[in-house]
Copies of this chain bind each other. A is one copy, B any other.
Amino acid sequence: MTKIVISGTGVYTPPNTITNDELVDSYNDYCNKFNAANADAIDRGEMTAKQHSSTAFIEKASGVKQRYMMNKSGATNPDVMATELSDLAGSDLSDPSVSSQMAVAAAKKAMDKAGVTPDEIDLLIFSSSIWERFVPSIAVEIQRDLGTKGYAFDMAMGCSSATFGMSTAMDSMLSGMANKALVITCEYITPAMNYTDRDSHFIFGDACVAMVLEREAESKAPVQFRIKTRELFTELSYNIAAMFGSRVLMEPHKIMDEDQRFMQNGRTVFKELLPLVIGMVQKHLDSNNYSVADMRRMWLHQANVNMNTFAVKKLTGTDQDQDTAPIILDEYANTAGAGCMIAFDKYHQDFKEGELGLICSFGASYSIGCMIVERV
């Protein structure tokens, strides 16, 4: 059986850091303005006053301390409260999308680490939660800008976009349709954030991660992780949702409505999704004759530190630490599909030959993706 390895990863981190304090300042200013503008209605009990947020609340609720954004001007302006265009955004259709530029930067790092050149890649998958543009394909734009060969396409599976993308690329490599693949999870996702919602205005950050997949027998990469097992699962939930899509072309007056942007019922997600994740990881380990103790590390989805500490405790019986299950969401916030692979990118160099780790994404749709990898 042909063995497939992750032979290189790369992360593109946007240029702008935005702290909780900055975000809370603009949110609270927005609340003050809203409450002042609606003071009479609030006094008459016809409207509810908007409640201030705080850095302490955000950190307790999520563990997020800051995030990166392609542009932070709108997010820090109480009169805008929306992500504004990046400086990288062109004005013409034929200017590369911002996502393509983020992807190219991440992909170059991943290919450098793998020691592969663009002309060796014959499959490129852009697998990301939400897309800057539908047509032409962003994957094909990246293909043009990198100079990769073969074919490319776009896919999406919310917070499991990277794991689903890698598994799909691996299938195409195993079938013989592709030889070397580049999978890119570009989460340019803050444009879909609702900055006026106290429960969610802090959750996302922009980032892009790229992975090179090769046949083990062919790879010359100094650091390789063999994909030993994988399992994908989906089951519908509307508890993480954004209505945005072509429907808004039929209701253009709704483009600024709250439901076009991300909302989540965080507590329900916690209650419903975590048992599914823990059950699936345990079953996946069992059915492959592993125990959790065989895993040197878990690179978990990075949405909320409380989910990760809960999952680690349930799975291992011990407390989460950076060695067992590294957290990167304190710095990056929730980067949707990219999170687990950003964690992998930053925490894998210390692995010794034969050591095993578990990649596990979980989130919107719902979706779960599990992979056991082994340092070659």
Contacts and interface: CB of A to CB of B under 8 A. Distances in A.
B240 A177 contact: no
Contacts of A156: 134, 137, 153-155
Interface stretch (A15-23, A28-36, A80-88, A313-321): A80-88
Contacts of A255: 248-249, 252, 255
Given A155-B156, A157-B137, A246 B192 contact: yes
Interface string A212-254: 0000000000000000001011111110111111111111100
A141 B236 contact: yes
Given A134-B131, A136-B238, A82 B141 contact: no
A244 B244 contact: no
Nearest to A238: B94
B236 A144 contact: yes
Contacts of A367: 137, 140, 151, 153
Among A74, A167, A236, A262, find the residue whose CB has the most chain B CB atoms closer than 10 A: A236
A247 B151 contact: no
A242 B132 CA distance: 11
Contacts of A252: 255-256
Contacts of A174: 171, 174-175
Contacts of A230: 177
A353 interface: no
Nearest to A134: B130
Q: For chain A, which range describes its interface: under 10, 10 to 19, 20 to 34, or 35 or more residues?
A: 35 or more
A85 B74 CA distance: 31
Nearest to A254: B255
B236 A140 contact: yes
Nearest to A137: B365
A136 B236 contact: yes
B242 A82 contact: no
A191 B238 contact: no
A83 B245 CA distance: 14
Interface of A: 74, 82-85, 89, 93-94, 97-98, 129-137, 139-141, 143-144, 150-158, 164, 167-168, 170-172, 174-175, 177, 188, 191-192, 230, 232-238, 240-252, 255-256, 259-262, 364-367
- Give the top 9 A-B pairs by smallest Cβ distance, nearest first: A133-B245, A144-B236, A155-B155, A171-B171, A151-B232, A174-B175, A171-B175, A191-B249, A136-B365
